[in-house]
């Protein structure tokens, strides 16, 4: 009988400041074959939602930490039966590699038409793709629901033309109506991510206590607070209790900016494959203003004010369940085109819950595009421990008096929440005025690169 070895999977140090994490969902169950770098479970820290990859090939043996439990870094969360095979309950030897290969082969037909998991990419896979400059949209996924595995990226590296051909064949088969459910295969559905207020129709809420049952009788519904929501609540409470907030606003004429963007957006999309948003121009105007008023890029340290040299813009990205803060590192060193591409990448990662710990660290100044929802006025809570939270509101056409004549112009409100321990009205007023000047300076001659 072949001998197997037990492999312990521990919670890694995801970031320097992260000391614990919460297991939110197990993606594998005991007995399932697991490949190296394949995701075992989803975890949530106070920084990001991430996936815990396997460190070896094998078969999942025991789950030691249940869903919803919070554990410290270094804790063993599960064990695998490693290479060499393990004896099952009937005394037969089971090869981990063989089991994985068999599971992959048997599920190929069922997965052929399902791409529901394709956007869920593990940090290990994304890092490998980034290192080799691979566009993951071109890589066919062999995992559950079209998910891209590490071996798929390696196969693409070895023979990109053959990989693309294989992807085209699979796409062709799906387009011809190859529905696994027609052949008796069990349909595979992506696990629901929504755990907050936005419950989907497929979500079944079952009473877990007498309190829940009583609430149901009253026509109420109790929703468990997710780890992400609990972290947001803690940070917001800390911000409003420790930081004396003040607020100010300025109105800006962005008519020339609207004309510029309309002129360039189609060509930019064809060239870069990315939407040219107003937010890229705004961030460019903001970082140039911060260069003139560096105190805006600071934090309170009791007996000192720490002014940050690098201008790292925290970008508020909302999802159904939470708000994430991915960071554009050294934004002052980017042109408008570079900012647009970085905004697109970080936004997609945030909404796909694939942000890496490094993506959300080091922010020094927060920008929030509340205008995307039609808002014209906001009073944001400061992203602790930063000194400011800046919102870009909806662009609205208004009648404006110019040289004693009425003209229809595209106007926008810029709102700023500030830490009054660090900043006063004078400096913030000058800062907003500089942002206004920078935005109004954009015209049809402005270069993106």
Active site residue 424: yes
Closest CA to 14 of 65, 49, 39: 49
Sequence-distant (6+) residues with CB within 8 A of 16 are none
* 407 contact partners, CB below 8 Å, separation of at least 6: 399, 400, 401
Asked if 58 and 38 count as a contact pair (C-beta separation under 8 A), the reply is no
Asked if 308 and 299 touch (Cβ cutoff 8 Å), the reply is: yes
Task: Give the CA angle between residues 217, 24, 83 to the nearest 5°.
Answer: 140
Residue 344 catalytic?
A: no
Distance CA 11, CA 147 (A): 23
CA nearest neighbour of 139 among 130, 102, 28, 55: 130
- Find the length of the chain: 449
Question: Choosing from 130, 179, 292, 424, which is the catalytic residue?
Answer: 424
Task: Report the distance separating Cα 112 and Cα 315, nearest Å.
Answer: 36
| Phi, psi at 214, each rounded to 5° | -65, -40
User: How far is residue 362 from each of residues 57, 94, 130, measured CA to CA in Å?
Assistant: 35, 47, 21
**Sequence-ordered list of residues with C-beta below 8 angstroms from that of 328, at least 6 positions apart, any chain:** 283, 312, 313, 315, 334, 339, 342, 343, 346
- Quickly list DSSP for 130-191: HHHT--GGGSPP-SGGGPPPHHHHHHHHH-HHHHHHHHHHHHHHHHTT--GGGGTPPP--PP
Q: Is 182 exposed, middle or buried (0-12, 13-18, 19+ CB in 10 A)?
A: exposed
- Here the tokens at position 229 are 């929501």
Six token digits for residue 374: 């039609």
Check if the beta carbon of residue 351 is closer than 8 Å to that of residue 258: no
Annotated catalytic residues are 420, 424
């Amino acid at each position: 009988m072949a001998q197997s070895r037990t492999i312990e999977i521990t919670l890694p140090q995801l970031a320097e400041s992260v000391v614990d994490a919460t297991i939110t969902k197990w993606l594998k169950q005991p007995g399932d074959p697991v490949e190296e770098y394949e995701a075992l479970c989803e975890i949530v820290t106070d920084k990001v939602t991430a996936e815990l990859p396997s460190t070896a090939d094998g078969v999942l043996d025991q789950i030691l930490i249940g869903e919803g439990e919070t554990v410290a870094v270094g804790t063993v969360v599960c064990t695998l039966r490693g290479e060499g095979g393990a004896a099952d309950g009937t005394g037969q030897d089971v090869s981990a590699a063989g089991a994985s290969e068999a599971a992959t082969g048997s599920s190929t037909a069922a997965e052929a038409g399902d791409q529901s998991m394709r956007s869920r990419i593990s940090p290990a896979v994304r890092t490998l793709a980034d290192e080799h400059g691979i566009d993951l949209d071109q890589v066919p996924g062999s995992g559950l629901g079209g998910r891209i595995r590490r071996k798929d990226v390696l196969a693409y590296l070895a023979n990109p033309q053959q990989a693309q051909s294989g992807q085209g064949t699979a796409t062709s088969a799906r387009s011809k109506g190859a529905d696994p459910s027609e052949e008796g295969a069990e349909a595979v559905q992506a696990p629901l991510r929504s755990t907050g207020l936005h419950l989907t129709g497929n979500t079944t809420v079952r009473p877990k206590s007498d309190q829940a049952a009583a609430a149901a009788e009253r026509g109420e519904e109790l929703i468990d607070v997710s780890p992400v929501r609990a972290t947001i609540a803690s940070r917001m409470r800390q911000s409003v209790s420790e930081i004396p907030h003040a607020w100010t606003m300025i109105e800006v004429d962005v008519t020339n900016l609207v004309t510029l963007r309309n002129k360039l957006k189609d060509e930019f999309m064809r060239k870069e494959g990315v939407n040219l948003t107003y937010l890229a121009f705004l961030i460019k105007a903001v970082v140039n203003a911060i260069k003139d008023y560096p105190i805006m890029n600071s934090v309170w340290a009791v007996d000192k004010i720490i002014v940050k040299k690098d201008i790292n813009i925290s970008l508020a990205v909302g999802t159904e369940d939470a708000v994430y803060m991915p960071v554009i590192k050294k934004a002052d060193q980017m042109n408008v085109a570079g900012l647009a591409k970085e905004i697109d990448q970080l936004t997609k990662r945030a909404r796909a819950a694939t942000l890496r710990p490094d993506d959300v660290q080091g922010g020094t100044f927060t920008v929030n595009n509340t205008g995307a929802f039609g808002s014209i006025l906001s009073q944001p809570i400061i992203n602790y421990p930063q000194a400011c939270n800046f919102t870009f509101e909806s662009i609205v056409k208004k009648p404006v008096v110019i040289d004693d004549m009425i003209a229809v112009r595209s106007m926008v409100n810029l709102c700023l929440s500030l830490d009054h321990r660090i900043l006063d009205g004078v400096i913030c007023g000058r800062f907003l005025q500089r942002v206004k000047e920078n935005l109004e300076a954009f015209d049809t001659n402005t270069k993106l690169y």
